[in-house]
Amino acid sequence: MPLYRLEAVVLYHRYLGEADKIVTLYSRERGKVRAVARGARRPRNRLLAGTQPYSHSDFLLFSGKGLDTISQCELKESFYTLREDLQRMAAAAYVAELYDLLIEEGEKNEGLFFLLLSTLHLLTDGEDIDLALRYFELRFLSLLGYQPQLTQCVHCGGPIEGRALRFSGQLGGVLCPDCWGQDGRAVSLCQGTLEMLKRFLTMTPRTLRVLGAAPAVRRELERVLRICLEYRLPRELKSRRFLALVQGEGF
């Protein structure tokens, strides 16, 4: 049976039988992969630590007739805070669900792998979970090829600097005042929010740690990016309600 190596993050695990589980991995080499981890729920099992949700590990797998099987794994980083702190856990579950819903199995994309790792770092020890998720959402959409048009009017190509703008999820970008009518559901977008979106596309996650945003800008960022994602999603996200609940309740 052919063996292969993967560097991967565990997105999900699902129990199988008494001691096994099926894990969904997002790997650097092969994108999303599902595999069986035999015995991984037994205490002291060598697969136990590395197959917990959000763990980052090196895996050795062998392929068989059905799902591939994990033979060995070596934990690189456990991200255990994401399984302990309710708000951080909800945010990580949201990220994992987006990877699961919008990415097909076996599509390699190293950019998405490194975005996942940097996002888990931000969610683990960053101060501003809210802004980290907005940054993640825009970078994620861009890496999938759905980057919204933010430098000119998405309909007429006209200038947008200093003008009253709206954002169209349907057209995938900013509308100048002459083109508002192109999408009756377009939402308002202030210049401050537009600038923040553009900064997200060029800055590193490290910069995000020192960035702040006014409450009005945060609300617009959340709304605009949610609209962008909703046009791509096959169904409503289960994790979004959990996230809204823990954030709203201030757990």
Contacts with Zn ion by CB under 5 A: the residue count is: 7
Minimum CB separation from Zn ion for residue 173, in Å? 10
Question: What is the C-alpha to C-alpha distance for residues 185 and 233, in angstroms, rounded to an integer?
Answer: 18
Question: What is the C-alpha to C-alpha distance for residues 132 and 212, in angstroms, rounded to an integer?
Answer: 11
Given 93, 153, 225, 228, the residue binding Zn ion (CB under 5 A): 153
Minimum CB separation from Zn ion for residue 159, in Å? 9
Burial of 115 (0-12, 13-18, 19+ CB in 10 A): buried
Applying the rule CB under 5 A, the residues between 45 and 74 that interact with Zn ion are none
Residue 86: C-alpha distances to residues 32, 97, 187, 209, 242 (Å): 25, 16, 31, 20, 10
With binding defined as CB under 5 A, does residue 176 bind Zn ion?
A: yes
With binding defined as CB under 5 A, does residue 196 bind Zn ion?
A: no
Question: What is the C-alpha to C-alpha distance for residues 12 and 204, in angstroms, rounded to an integer?
Answer: 27
With binding defined as CB under 5 A, does residue 164 bind Zn ion?
A: no
Asked if 51 contacts 11 with a C-beta cutoff of 8 angstroms, the reply is no
With binding defined as CB under 5 A, does residue 156 bind Zn ion?
A: yes
Please identify, among the stretches 10-18, 61-69, 93-101, 151-159, the one whose residues bind Zn ion according to the rule CB under 5 A. 151-159
With binding defined as CB under 5 A, does residue 171 bind Zn ion?
A: no
Based on CB atoms, which residue is closest to Zn ion, 53 or 173? 173
Say which DSSP state 105 is in. Answer: B
With binding defined as CB under 5 A, does residue 244 bind Zn ion?
A: no
Question: What is the C-alpha to C-alpha distance for residues 242 and 142, in angstroms, rounded to an integer?
Answer: 25
Based on CB atoms, which residue is closest to Zn ion, 110 or 178? 178
Minimum CB separation from Zn ion for residue 184, in Å? 15
Question: What is the C-alpha to C-alpha distance for residues 157 and 108, in angstroms, rounded to an integer?
Answer: 33
Minimum CB separation from Zn ion for residue 175, in Å? 6
Given 112, 179, 194, 197, the residue binding Zn ion (CB under 5 A): 179
Report CA dihedral (126, 128, 132, 135) to the nearest 10 degrees. -130
With binding defined as CB under 5 A, does residue 86 bind Zn ion?
A: no
Please identify, among the stretches 122-130, 135-143, 169-177, 195-203, the one whose residues bind Zn ion according to the rule CB under 5 A. 169-177
With binding defined as CB under 5 A, does residue 186 bind Zn ion?
A: no
Among 135, 188, 147, 150, CA closest to 166: 188
**Which residues would be at the binding site for Zn ion (CB under 5 A)?**
153, 155-156, 158, 176, 178-179
